[in-house]
Homo-oligomer: A and B are copies of this chain.
Amino acid sequence: MPYVNIRITREGATPEQKAELIAGVTELLQRVLAKNPATTVVNIDELDFENWGIGGLPVLDYRAAQAAKEPDR
């Protein structure tokens, strides 16, 4: 009966991809901890870029800064 909250930036995850996440994490909990899939709840939250911060910056600024630092990747 686990509860899983997956939070990602909103950038085009499709319903099929979300279904894969739901199936995948539910199977993971069943395989590793024998949790009952019937009562495993998964919530996916999608946040706008400006609402997600990492490294002290909104995520798009962070990505731009990373790209500037590592031009070859």
Contacts and interface: CB of A to CB of B under 8 A. Distances in A.
Interface of A: 1-9, 13, 15, 17-29, 32-33, 35, 37-47, 50-59, 61
Given A1-B54, A3-B3, A56-B26, A20 B43 contact: no
A40 B25 CA distance: 15
A29 B26 CA distance: 13
Contacts of A29: 6, 8, 21
Contacts of A53: 18-19, 21-23, 26, 40-44
Contacts of A15: 50, 58
17 contacts: A2-B8, A3-B3, A3-B7, A3-B41, A4-B4, A15-B58, A18-B51, A24-B28, A25-B28, A40-B54, A41-B41, A41-B52, A42-B54, A43-B51, A43-B52, A45-B47, A45-B51
